[in-house]
Amino acid sequence: MEWTQAHRAQKMNPSVIREILKVTEKPGIISFAGGLPSPRTFPVAAFREACDKVLREDGHAALQYAASEGYAPLREMVAAMLPWDVDPAQVLITTGSQQGLDLIAKILIDAGSRVLVETPTYLGALQAFTPMEPDIVSVASDDEGVDMADLQRKAAGARFFYVLPNFQNPTGRTMSEARRAALSAEAARLGLPIVEDNPYGDLWFDNPPPPPLTARNPEGCVYLGSFSKVLAPGLRLGFMVAPKALYPKLLQAKQAADLHSPGFNQRMVAEVMKGGFLDRHVPTIRALYKSQRDAMLAAMQREMPEGVTWNTPAGGMFLWASLPQGMNAVDLLPHAVERGVAFVPGAAFYAGAADTRTLRLSFVTASVEQINIGIAALAAAIRGLRTPAALAAAAAQAATTQALAASL
């Protein structure tokens, strides 16, 4: 039997990160690759109590089919915790915020549609958008956020601009207040919708980030949030806040995709969140992640050879680094794995021309001891690859790869 696949199926590619995570399952590998929250932050006891209570008091409803919009009390909690006036009727509970990206792609993208993204951007968004066959255009970005001049040059006809203003994946950077104000005003002037993805916004270390873009122009934005980073990713629960004009179609797309997100999980989250639990729990996550970030920054300063640069994220889970001129993070990865450490090459996060020297390091799942050992091993791999013989071998391998690609 020969199966004829849809044309869009050819646009689907495996996640580079998921493939790298398979390597990290080998014994002895210290992984800075995955965007995984630390299991130490999962409130297991709180969920054990919530599970028992939900099953005891509302078990039959919790295990039954449910409304596609989501569990009403949870939608009300989401609306109440956001820093602008949100009608719970605008909240859609999703199966992780990744589903929100998929629903947006289905509703807003036609083949050939122009979609704007930051440079670089979240790989999962590229995976969600690409099967719809858009023209994905990278907007130049710097440490402050979006390059407004480049946005103005590229915005004409765009369906939306996808941004992660807070502790961005992959770079860890945060968009400044000045740049947010400029972007919000310019998007409103241009009639450019914004899709604001904010899974990391609560994970600030010293000071909270500026208010969301959506708070400045709710009718011009779709806002995505997640319970994965503040509670547990295994719940697969996130949410969208959408303008009332767009909400019905997003809801219809969700009904076609999965009918509804798990009702039992939604009730457990609502139960756990009662009484201000997140206000007590999230600061413990911040403190842990800040200590791990500080350990990685200290190790980088201590171990890295000249020419390696990196940033200092003010929150979130990721540090963004760049190798010396002439080096390629993809070439470095197998050498690092040989030394017992893994990372994600930055090229995977670019919609356009990639900076192949970049790499993403996650600091939240490794202990301080593992961070010290892993960064030392990574630095040793970099020094090893910079020797003349190693550089020549890497160049030869790159030439072979290019020749093979050209013959296919």
> Could you state, in chain order, the average pLDDT of each consecutive group of 10 residues for the chain (408 residues)?
83 67 76 93 98 97 97 98 98 97 98 97 96 97 96 97 98 98 97 98 97 98 98 97 97 97 98 96 98 98 98 98 96 94 95 95 97 98 78 55 45
Q: What is the pLDDT of residue 16?
A: 63
> What is the pLDDT at residue 15?
63
Give dist(CA 238, CA 240) in Å, integer: 7
Kindly report the number of other CB atoms within 10 A of residue 16's CB atom.
17
What residues form DSSP beta bridges with 315? 204
Handedness of CA 24, 29, 32, 36 (dihedral sign): positive
This prediction has a pTM of: 0.92
CA distance 47 to 39: 14
Cβ-proximal residues to 350 (8 Å cutoff; 6+ apart), any chain: 119, 120, 121, 138
Which residues are 370's β-sheet partners?
Answer: none
Calculate the alpha carbon distances from 103 to 173, 258, 300 in Å: 26, 11, 39
Q: What is the Rg, in whole angstroms, of the alpha carbon atoms belonging to the chain? A: 22
Amino acid at position 276, single letter: G
Q: Are strands 114-118 and 158-163 parallel, antiparallel or unpaired?
A: parallel
Q: Which pLDDT does position 407 carry in this prediction? A: 44
Q: Residue 19: which residues within 8 A CB-CB, separation 6 or more?
A: none
For helices 263-273 and 72-81, angle between their N-to-C axes, nearest 10 degrees: 50
| Residue of 218, 109, 122 lying closest to 157 (CA atoms) | 109
What's the pLDDT score for residue 2?
Answer: 84
Give how far Cα 214 sits from Cα of 63, 95, 253, 278, 408, Å. 34, 21, 22, 22, 45
> How far, in Å, CA of 204 to CA of 68, rounded?
32
Q: What is the pLDDT of residue 24?
A: 64
What pLDDT score does 401 carry?
45
Residues 170 and 122 sit within 8 Å (Cβ to Cβ): yes
In angstroms, what CA-CA distances link 32 with 304, 345, 373?
A: 16, 11, 12
Whole-angstrom distance, CA of residue 239 vs CA of residue 227: 8
How far apart CA 359 and CA 374 sit, in angstroms, is: 14
Neighbours of 373 (CB within 10 A): 17
| pLDDT reported for residue 89 | 98
With vertex at residue 177, the alpha carbon angle to CA 171 and CA 183, rounded to the nearest 5 degrees, is 85
Cβ atoms 266, 71 nearer than 8 A: yes
Please state, in angstroms and rounded to a whole number, the distance separating the CA atoms of residues 244 and 256: 19
Q: Can you say whether residue 177 is alpha, beta or left, with left for phi > 0 and alpha for psi between -120 and 50 degrees? A: alpha
In order, the DSSP letters of 325-384 are: TT--HHHHHHHHHHTTEE-EEGGGG-SSS--TTEEEEE-SSS-HHHHHHHHHHHHHHHHH
Question: What does each C-alpha distance from 386 to 84, 341, 359, 394 come to in angstroms?
Answer: 51, 18, 16, 10
pLDDT at position 6 is 84
